[in-house]
């Protein structure tokens, strides 16, 4: 099995960042669509796990006293998505390099020299996701809403009462802050760890610098991701089977657009 090729001497270097514009986001999305069209069967196979998980989560929350966590769980896809799409980054990397790309190659990430850094960063995102759920649980009770008796009762409480409106406003604001943190930390971290042996700290620092260098464009990218994930969650999360691979492939091309490649060829 061919292992991922990375640069062995990049671990302490900090790559240069390009300034990008909204047109570059369109270009990244277009290339993501092209990857999806070129590898549809493999990508859909890999992405079926997302709607399945979504349906299971919906089943666990609807009709129970935890229904108020359904939206936070759904929104949490955006927090763990950068790691969940790592196999898609590898497929785009291989296709860009002119190599054969199939769903089996998505598991080549397990042979990456950066696998420990990838796992460590994934655990950070998991921690953010769990913290978000804990905050959502606390907020629901903080605003004064009681345990929902049914889905209809829950919807009525949220959209027709003052505590419900407060929950929507405060929850949206807090969720936006969590989303911004995830975007800053992981916008291009995982693709970079696949591409170059830089270490988690350098990958995260590069992602932070990419957002700071392009605040408006990267904020627009965050909104695009949030909007597409919302659309993909309807109906019953089935759209994620298409949205997730599109975003995964596009993220790889966004990384290639943002980070200046090394001057020396891969080992």
Q: Please tell me which residue, 255 or 242, carries the higher pLDDT value.
A: 255
Closest CA to 121 of 181, 185, 78: 185
Examine the pLDDT at 23 and tell me if it is beyond 60.
Answer: yes
Mean pLDDT value across residues 106-133? 89
Number of domains in the chain: 1
* 12 is a domain residue: no
**75-89, 120-134, 219-233, range with greatest mean pLDDT:** 120-134
Domain membership flag for residue 165: yes
User: Is 24 a domain residue?
Assistant: no
Note whether residue 20 is domain-resident: no
In 3D space, the residue among 162, 167, 205 whose CA is nearest the CA of residue 187 turns out to be 205
Q: Is 43:91 a contact under the CB 8 Å cutoff?
A: yes
What are the tens digits of pLDDT across the range 178-228? 999 999 999 999 999 999 888 899 999 999 999 999 999 999 999 999 899
Confidence of residue 145 (pLDDT cuts 50, 70, 90): confident
pLDDT of residue 149: 76
CA–CA distance, 215 with 170 (Å, rounded to integer): 24
Res 103: pLDDT: 67
What is the pLDDT confidence band of residue 138, given thresholds at 50, 70 and 90?
very high
The residue ranking higher by pLDDT, 71 or 201, is 201
Say which residue the tokens 């829950």 belong to.
Answer: 154
Average the pLDDT over each of 32-36, 121-125, 143-147, 255-259 and give the range with the smallest value: 143-147
Judge whether 267 lies within some domain. Answer: no
Residue 114 resides in a domain: yes
Does residue 13 lie in a domain region?
no
């Amino acid at each position: 099995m061919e292992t991922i090729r990375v640069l062995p001497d990049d671990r302490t270097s900090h790559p240069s960042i390009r300034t990008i514009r909204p047109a570059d986001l369109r270009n990244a999305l277009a290339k993501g669509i092209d990857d999806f069209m070129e590898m549809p069967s493999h990508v859909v196979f890999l992405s079926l796990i997302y709607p399945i998980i979504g349906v299971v989560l919906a089943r666990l929350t609807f009709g129970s006293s935890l229904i108020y966590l359904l939206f936070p769980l759904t929104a949490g896809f955006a927090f763990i998505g950068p790691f969940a799409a790592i196999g898609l980054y590898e497929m785009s990397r291989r296709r860009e390099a002119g190599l054969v790309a199939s769903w089996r190659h998505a598991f080549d990430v397990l042979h990456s020299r950066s696998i420990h850094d990838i796992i460590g960063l994934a655990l950070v995102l998991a921690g953010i996701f769990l913290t978000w759920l804990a905050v959502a649980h606390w907020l629901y009770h903080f605003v004064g809403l009681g345990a929902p008796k049914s889905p209809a009762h829950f919807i009525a409480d949220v959209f027709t009462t003052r505590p419900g409106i407060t929950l929507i406003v405060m929850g949206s604001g807090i969720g936006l802050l969590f989303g911004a943190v995830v975007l800053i930390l992981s916008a291009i971290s995982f693709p970079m760890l696949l591409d170059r042996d830089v270490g988690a700290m350098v990958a995260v620092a590069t992602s932070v610098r990419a957002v700071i260098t392009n605040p408006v464009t990267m904020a627009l990218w965050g909104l695009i991701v949030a909007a597409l994930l919302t659309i993909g969650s309807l109906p019953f999360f089935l759209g994620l089977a298409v949205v997730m691979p599109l975003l995964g492939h596009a993220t790889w091309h966004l990384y290639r657009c943002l980070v200046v490649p090394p001057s020396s060829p891969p080992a």
